[in-house]
A and B are shown apart, each in its own frame.
Chain A
């Protein structure tokens, strides 16, 4: 059997999706040709170039690494269609109009090489219909590969084969899109809206209908259907503004036309209010106004307005008091039962959702977990519909549904009759789902593990081992002295008993705290000895990993700051998610980073040094990470900022981090591990470095980037990086460096303004820049 190898991709259609897919694939490392129709005679590529430029400048940023834009070559479908002969994968991403798509597929079919694979990014048209009448060979090499918008941030990818698609191609893309593209891959039936949009848009439209029914305002509904119920902040109406009312309308029309399901036809129909908005051209973000509108009034103040669904006038958005809504994690039904004002609204949107989803099985998919998967990875929900139904109690909810004179699909009743009371279960650490075919719980396939919150308790220092490799999960940012000491002991235990270590750095996405409460209280109380003890332990913990006797590889994703960053950098070997944001935000609290990051940054730039290099460039680079509070916007930028080095690898699929880390550990065990010696000396730039950084901080202060106290703290950081005001050019040993780092940290702890900042943070949980 021949290998399928993808080196070059051709994308036709440079609109919102086409250009973003181009960016995504160029980040992966593929050569991308992006084509569109001819612009004008003077500049035949004007359309594709302006579309791509617009995308690159858009937010959220589509490119991991801006220089990857050079992997994209633009062109038009007349002058550059011959490039298709070189391409292994061709993506059709033109507008959602069947005739236009078919025309493009004609061009592709005529010009492509035999073996190349063609996919369509359609969000709702029938894959089988698009290839009707085409050759057998074309059909075998054609499938739907549906990216969600924006592709860098939403991991869902739906694969929809047509009846003739070769199994080898389906299998290839399932693997490729998961491993290389890092996507959450869901294999779908060729039904209208596939799975994600079929359920996601149902939910949006249903919330809109119920908003009108219960006479709630746009802002109210968004407050009710956002973070409060574990959906993204954009909730309902803001999400529609982002998608675009015109896009939504076209999608809805397509889906309604192609289905015979009454529920779908009723719910996907645009209510009068939305039709009126559509006629007025209020499509959302793309037209500057939708359900919301940003306006700048006469005084130059920014106002955020929302539309009144009745008279279509824009009024100032009212704030809904979330705290008044009763919701208990332990009994989610309290949403419906305990809320006078909004209980009925919640009852409608949840019951309607459950009923609808029940009827979608097996219509759009045989596996219920795919519904939850698509909602989580395509619409940003924390829990999918069947998961929520489980949380509320399947039987209880079914009773409520019956009381409301609605009906769930037969299979749910049947499931309950068989004494299966939940859609999901767990057996021997494996997740199970209710399989309609076997009518009992079956294991969810390995590659579609659901993303429930990984249970991590910071009090436990337990780890589990497999094949002699310990997997140790830790959020080291918030450890008090006692736990720091215990952690070091535990690590030494692992060093003695295991063959290797994967240190899994867990961070709380809502909490970028760099230090434990204990340390901050000690600083506030001027308990200098206790502070010194803690920071010494932090340095010791980092060094334990750095000089570990067995191979140690760290794993990280999301925000990595404070001691977690110290450990990541000390391991010098890691597997991180491409979306890893590293930084040194300690300036906010009026203190400096401590424990290992500064040492590792200096050692990294020392390694790069070539005789004759001016030294201030790299010194300034790492200093700016702190003074300008840079947080890398990706793992790639993390490398540029020197937080990551040559043995640190980033991956597109966050689920593979631990297994990849274990592989790395195994490789090192195989080839042999030598502990990092601690005799490497650190280049002390002394006054030569300080003179550069002191004048730089003064310029920053006068430019308004640093306050007076920020400058003082930044100058202290400069002192750490330059190892004090030495006047000779020399190198110091690491212990001297660490001692100096502690001294500087402690001196800052006696600064009144620093104590003030820390006190404010402890009381209010936010920052003051005094």
Chain B
């Protein structure tokens, strides 16, 4: 089988849902801006030659409905470029990338733009209509257990204390703030232009803003403040707003090409996907997903965990991430070195793509070879992609 190469990637800053800069920005408009900049950045790439657009999105209804990938391609690419939505909840972004790579590897396309976009401000994450399966609701209603309660279960199972979770959360913020200070995300972030028509003092005005920084990380975070927060999902529990991922808005895309295409446009590869796995786990402890997906992907790649230089483990909840780390005995020093979803935010469909871009950039900066992007998925799944830095 031929190979597929990631030659570029860009993302929007991550805005805080409901209160942040993107709260009135549609996720299709956000995606369109990222894709347009991505095309410009990728020298030699003629947008007419893009075969497809694959968009990860976790709640494809309302503003994200009507198969919005097609509308995103209409907004940002020539009419001839089609598009489709992929939904594996929090794993959608990674799944989109994996599908692009698979199509190219198997010869069905030469150039695909893949990634994810999400507006948690505009579309409630459980959607507008709740309709569980009747038989499941009777026999196994905990298949529909809310995410926070699954994190509580893991905390109990793996003996994660409240203090551990709060410390993990604190570190996420500190690492992210340091990364921002050291301009580590500057290369991968697309400044997003917002034009708002608003009413100020009873007058209609238009104002323009450019957003360049992730809004999640809080410099005023202290362990003391985190410890005072009340549990939000369970009486006497430990999962709080402070040690859960933030709800966010954002968009991220990469360009994946075949070797021929890459040579034709005179580009060089940044990375390739060595292996990818998706596995199912018990829905009521969905957070442990990565602990099953990682070994499966490693085996398929014929690699061991010691071969891995960097891990981007999506921080759905502190207790969830700590459970995965404990289960596989992972080295915390190489995990989320630039902060994670607790500080930076978790725009569901974007996350897999964002983590991939950040991981690849970190591997390149450190001249390291292998990295993992992994996430748990609501409903009881885990996804894992292993990437190889090709710039060495």
Interface: A4 (CB within 8 A):
no
When the two chains form their complex, are residues A704 and B236 in contact, meaning their CB atoms are under 8 A apart? yes
Question: Given A614-B128, A704-B234, do A694 and B137 touch, yes or no (CB 8 Å)?
Answer: yes
Chain B residues with CB under 8 Å of A753's CB are none
Bound CA–CA A615/B130 (angstroms): 9
**Closest residue of B by beta carbon distance from A616:** B130
Interface: A691 (CB within 8 A):
yes
- Segment of A253-261, A432-440, A463-471, A695-703 in the binding face: A695-703
Interface: B138 (CB within 8 A):
yes
Interface: A692 (CB within 8 A):
yes
Chain B residues with CB under 8 Å of A688's CB are 131, 134
Q: How far is the CB of A102 from chain B (nearest CB, A)?
A: 36
When the two chains form their complex, are residues B134 and A702 in contact, meaning their CB atoms are under 8 A apart? no
Interface: B235 (CB within 8 A):
yes
Q: How far is the CB of A623 from chain B (nearest CB, A)?
A: 12
- Interface of chain A, helix or strand or loop or mixed? helix
- CB contact between A699 and one of B128, B131, B145, B235 (< 8 Å): that residue: B145
Interface string of A679-713 (1 = CB under 8 A from B): 00000000110111011011100111100000000
Interface size on B, as a range, is 20 to 34
Interface: A96 (CB within 8 A):
no
Q: How far is the CB of A601 from chain B (nearest CB, A)?
A: 19
Bound CA–CA A691/B141 (angstroms): 9
Bound CA–CA A699/B145 (angstroms): 6
When the two chains form their complex, are residues B235 and A692 in contact, meaning their CB atoms are under 8 A apart? no
Bound CA–CA A300/B132 (angstroms): 43
Chain A residues with CB under 8 Å of B237's CB are 703-704
Interface: B304 (CB within 8 A):
no
Interface string of B136-151 (1 = CB under 8 A from A): 1110011011100100
Bound CA–CA A425/B4 (angstroms): 100
Q: How far is the CB of A129 from chain B (nearest CB, A)?
A: 43
Chain A residues with CB under 8 Å of B129's CB are 614-616
Q: How far is the CB of A530 from chain B (nearest CB, A)?
A: 32
Chain A residues with CB under 8 Å of B236's CB are 704
- Between A687, A705, A725, the greatest number of chain B beta carbons within 10 A of the residue's beta carbon is seen for A687
Residues 4-24 of B contacting A (Cβ, < 8 Å): none
- CB contact between A695 and one of B128, B141, B152, B235 (< 8 Å): that residue: B141
Q: How far is the CB of A645 from chain B (nearest CB, A)?
A: 25
- CB contact between B130 and one of A692, A702, A703, A705 (< 8 Å): that residue: A692
Interface string of B218-239 (1 = CB under 8 A from A): 0000000000000001111100
When the two chains form their complex, are residues B131 and A698 in contact, meaning their CB atoms are under 8 A apart? no
Chain B residues with CB under 8 Å of A692's CB are 130-132, 137
Bound CA–CA A703/B152 (angstroms): 9
Chain B residues with CB under 8 Å of A690's CB are 134, 137-138
Residues 623-655 of A contacting B (Cβ, < 8 Å): none
Chain B residues with CB under 8 Å of A695's CB are 132, 137, 141, 144
Residues 727-753 of A contacting B (Cβ, < 8 Å): 727
**Closest residue of A by beta carbon distance from B133:** A691
Chain B residues with CB under 8 Å of A616's CB are 129-131
When the two chains form their complex, are residues B133 and A703 in contact, meaning their CB atoms are under 8 A apart? no
Question: Given A616-B131, A704-B236, do A699 and B149 touch, yes or no (CB 8 Å)?
Answer: yes
Chain B residues with CB under 8 Å of A727's CB are 134
Question: Given A698-B145, A699-B145, A702-B145, do A691 and B137 touch, yes or no (CB 8 Å)?
Answer: yes
Chain A residues with CB under 8 Å of B134's CB are 687-688, 690-691, 725, 727
Q: How far is the CB of B141 from chain A (nearest CB, A)?
A: 4
Residues 87-123 of B contacting A (Cβ, < 8 Å): none
Chain A residues with CB under 8 Å of B130's CB are 614, 616, 620, 692
Q: How far is the CB of B135 from chain A (nearest CB, A)?
A: 9
Bound CA–CA A694/B142 (angstroms): 10
**Closest residue of A by beta carbon distance from B129:** A614
Bound CA–CA A699/B126 (angstroms): 14
- Between A620, A697, A703, the greatest number of chain B beta carbons within 10 A of the residue's beta carbon is seen for A703
When the two chains form their complex, are residues A691 and B132 in contact, meaning their CB atoms are under 8 A apart? yes
Chain B residues with CB under 8 Å of A702's CB are 142, 145, 149, 152, 234
Q: How far is the CB of B46 from chain A (nearest CB, A)?
A: 44
Question: Given A694-B141, A695-B137, A698-B142, do A703 and B234 touch, yes or no (CB 8 Å)?
Answer: yes
Chain B residues with CB under 8 Å of A614's CB are 128-130
When the two chains form their complex, are residues B137 and A699 in contact, meaning their CB atoms are under 8 A apart? no
**Closest residue of B by beta carbon distance from A614:** B129
Q: How far is the CB of B340 from chain A (nearest CB, A)?
A: 25
Bound CA–CA A298/B234 (angstroms): 26
When the two chains form their complex, are residues A694 and B131 in contact, meaning their CB atoms are under 8 A apart? no
Q: How far is the CB of B129 from chain A (nearest CB, A)?
A: 4
When the two chains form their complex, are residues A694 and B138 in contact, meaning their CB atoms are under 8 A apart? yes
Chain B residues with CB under 8 Å of A687's CB are 134
Chain B residues with CB under 8 Å of A703's CB are 149, 233-235, 237
Bound CA–CA A351/B119 (angstroms): 73
- CB contact between B141 and one of A615, A698, A705, A725 (< 8 Å): that residue: A698
Chain B residues with CB under 8 Å of A704's CB are 234-237
Bound CA–CA A725/B133 (angstroms): 13
- Between B129, B132, B142, B236, the greatest number of chain A beta carbons within 10 A of the residue's beta carbon is seen for B132
Residues 82-117 of A contacting B (Cβ, < 8 Å): none
Footprint of A on B, CB under 8 Å?
A: 128-134, 136-138, 141-142, 144-146, 149, 152, 233-237
A-B contact pairs, 14 of them (CB 8 A): A614-B128, A614-B129, A688-B131, A690-B137, A691-B131, A691-B132, A691-B137, A692-B130, A694-B132, A694-B138, A698-B142, A699-B146, A702-B145, A704-B237
Among all A-B residue pairs, the 10 with the closest Cβ atoms: A704-B235, A698-B141, A614-B129, A694-B137, A687-B134, A695-B144, A691-B137, A691-B132, A691-B134, A695-B132
14 further A-B pairs in the complex, CB-CB below 8 A; given A691-B131, A698-B145: A616-B130, A620-B130, A687-B134, A690-B137, A691-B132, A691-B134, A692-B132, A692-B137, A695-B144, A698-B142, A699-B146, A702-B152, A703-B235, A705-B235
